[in-house]
Amino acid sequence: MPKWDYRKIDYDAIDKERIAPNDFLFKVVAIASFIEITSDLYERNLVEFYAGDEAIVGWLESTWEPEEIQHGKALRRYVETVWPEFDWESAYAGFRKEYGALCTLDEFQPTRAKEMLARMVVETGTSTLYRAMHDYAESIDEPILAEIAHNIHKDEVYHYEQFDRGFEKYNREEKLGRGEITKVIYARLKMANDEDIAIAHKYIAPDEDFEAFRLETKEFAKKFYPYKMAVKMLMHPLHLHRHIENATAATAQKALQILGI
Ligand SMILES: [Fe+2]
Ligand SMILES: [Fe+2]
């Protein structure tokens, strides 16, 4: 069961007139709602990939999926409250059809430990995105969005921790070295950069060039993206000594910025 309930959030308290002209926010929240609510497809694939591991499969089914779906519902309601003219349902139908076809086990890593690493990269992405969304919401004095983003952020950090435990468990057998771990993280980071966002954007803002949106997100990231947190989470599976970690972190942060993450 999710640890919070989006139905208890006071959506009526949103200052709709003030927030509605914020087109960038509309796109970010709508894109996030599409991707989150499609987690059932991921869940299906993950359950198949980790078949036989009752602990992981049970957690994915009873906790991970309901939490991710709730993220989608909370964000959807936000979009439908502030931008009621947007037809969420039909735009989402287009996204789900196109993106769903790409959500296959082919996209998975070749081993269980490596896929856990890939999941950690994804949860790092979501943890940091919602931290940024929270800070942005506070900067524009929007407490309801700040509350939603904070709740989601906490869930994502928890997901990251669970996948980290899974990685450690499987890596006791697979014994991936730092070179291999880095390769998987890097490959997943490049992939995260990202077809799901591009497809969602196409259905949410069909008249707008995706590159223009990318430029907007870069500006947003410069101000709000918690790069340090991202680097720390991404490098964690390497188990570097602290002084090496600190020395590598600056380079890693540059790499993230170059990748446009
Ligand atoms: Fe999520
Ligand atoms: Fe998550």
Give the model confidence (pLDDT) of 190-214 as tens digits.
876 578 899 999 999 999 999 999 9
User: Distance (Å, rounded) from C-alpha 236 to C-alpha 119?
Assistant: 13
Closest by Cα among 194, 191, 259, 257 to 228: 257
CA distances from 215 to 19, 129, 207, 221, 261 (A): 21, 16, 16, 10, 12
Given a contact cutoff of 8 angstroms between Cβ atoms, the answer to whether 152 and 2 are in contact is no
Q: Please tell me the distance between residue 60's alpha carbon and the centre of ligand 1 in angstroms.
A: 13
pLDDT value of position 257:
65
Give the integer Cα–Cα distance in Å for 3 and 217: 30
Question: From CA 34, how far away is CA 39, in angstroms rounded?
Answer: 9
- Rounded to the nearest angstrom, the distance between the alpha carbon of 59 and the centre of ligand 2 is 12
Q: Which residues are placed with Cβ below 5 angstroms of ligand 2, an ion? A: 123, 156, 159
Which token pair is 77? 């309601």
* Ligand 1 geometric centre to CA of 247 (Å): 31
Cα-to-centroid distance, 179 and ligand 2 (Å): 26
Six-digit token string for 180: 């291999």
Average pLDDT over residues 26-41: 96
Mean pLDDT, the chain, integer: 92
Ligand having the closest approach to the CA of 38: 1
Instruction: Give residue for tokens 């540059």.
Output: 254
3-state percent helix, strand, coil for the chain, nearest multiple of 5:
80, 0, 20
Taking only the tens place, the pLDDT of each residue in 171-187 is 999 999 999 999 999 88
Query: Token digits for 105?
Result: 């086990």
For residue 103, the model assigns a pLDDT of 86
- Cα(82)–Cα(148) distance, integer angstroms: 14
Nearest ligand by distance to the CA of 36: 1
Q: Say whether pLDDT at 259 is over 90.
A: no
Among the listed residues 108, 121, 154, the one whose alpha carbon sits nearest the alpha carbon of residue 237: 121
The answer to whether 160 and 233 are in contact (CB under 8 A) is yes
Task: Tell me what pLDDT residue 189 has.
Answer: 86
Instruction: Tell me how far the alpha carbon of residue 15 lies from the centroid of ligand 2, in angstroms.
Output: 28
Residue 108 and residue 49 in contact, taking contact as beta carbons nearer than 8 Å? yes
**What is the rounded distance in angstroms from the CA atom of residue 120 to the CA atom of residue 228?**
16
Domains plus CATH for the chain? 6-259 (1.10.620.20)
Query: pLDDT-based confidence at 261, cuts 50/70/90?
Result: low
In this prediction, residue 236 carries a pLDDT of 94
